[in-house]
Structure 1
Amino acid sequence: MRIGELAARTGVSVRALRYYEEQELLVPERSPSGQRRYGEGAVGRVELIQELYAAGLSSRTILTLMPCVADGAATPRLIERLALERDRVDRRIADLTGTRDRLDAVIANAAAKERTGERCRVR
């Protein structure tokens, strides 16, 4: 498939796909005229790249992890790196959960004040 089709199927901009290529996260084949061609596997790979970016991983980290994702081969050092990234994601989830809980408390407090006719002040 061409780059425009891959962008449409993944919801990722053509510009982002070119960036992934510059970072060597995505490697297209080239037609004789030089046009990029992507196989079906590129859709899943782009989706994974997006998920890893959303989890806060850098392009450099994603690049190091890709061989393990692609074929399951991992060195002890890579396994350690994966575990560190997982732990970082766990800490981020805990932080976000704490923030959500605080927001829930504020919402509950504001709703209780609303029921009693008190005004909630926003600063």
Structure 2
Amino acid sequence: MTVLISELAELTGVSARALRHYEDRGLLAPARSSSGYRDYAESDVSRVAQIRMMIAAGLGTSTIRRYLDCARTGDHGTTLEMCPDLRAELDALARRLDARQAELRDMQGRLRELTSAG
């Protein structure tokens, strides 16, 4: 069974524009019909769910492209099979998020100082 881009968008809750972006970034590779329409496979529904989960976790499309084959969707959602390179990238992302959270806490503290000084 194949589906058109509008059908995949409806099935996944992702806009057709986002699906085309995923294709441009090498995350999806739909077949083309003889008339040039994109034909998505049924497996692309779970592939889009995996992409969305990875984006929501803070991964960029270039990182997702490298590790999308590590994504698994099962009864408990999407998971990633770990390998050393992927673990290193995820650890680096976690460190950047920790640093950003610390910066935000510092800003909140300075803001509280400003608002309580009057």
Shift of 1:89: 5.7
**Equivalent in the alignment of 2:8:** 6
Query: How big is the shift at 1:82?
Result: 1.4
Distance 1:11 1:67 in 2: 22
CA contact (8 A) 1:55 1:89 kept: no
What is the TM-score when the length of structure 2 is the normalising length?
0.66
The reply to whether residue 84 of structure 1 matches residue 88 of structure 2 is yes
Question: 1:28–1:38: 8 Å Cα contact kept in structure 2?
Answer: yes
Contact persistence 1:65–1:82 (CA under 8 A): yes
> d(CA) in 1 for partners of 2:9 and 2:69?
23
Which structure 2 residue ranges, 5 or more long, are not aligned?
A: 73-80, 105-115
Runs of 4+ in structure 1 deviating by more than 6 angstroms, as ranges, are none
1:26 and 1:41 map into 2 onto residues whose CA distance is 11
Match of 2:55 in 1: 53
| Unmatched tracts of structure 1, length 5 or more | 100-120
Question: What is the alpha-carbon root mean square deviation over aligned residues?
Answer: 3.2
Count of residue pairs the alignment pairs up: 100
Q: Is the 8 A contact 1:3 1:17 kept in 2?
A: yes
- Same amino acid, percent of matched pairs: 43
Determine the C-alpha separation between the residues in 2 that align with 1:62 and 1:21: 12
Structure 1 or 2: more helix by fraction? 1
Structure-1 separation of matches of 2:44 and 2:83: 24
Q: 1:70-94: per-residue Cα shift (whole Å, max 9, x none)?
A: 7xxx9xxx8222112333565548x
- Structure having the higher strand fraction is 2
Paired with 2:33 and 2:18, the residues of 1 have a C-alpha distance of: 21
Q: Can you list the C-alpha shifts for 1:64-121, whole angstroms capped at 9, x where unaligned?
A: 0023337xxx9xxx8222112333565548x87xx9xxxxxxxxxxxxxxxxxxxxx9
Q: Which has the larger radius of gyration?
A: 1
Aligned to 1:40: 42
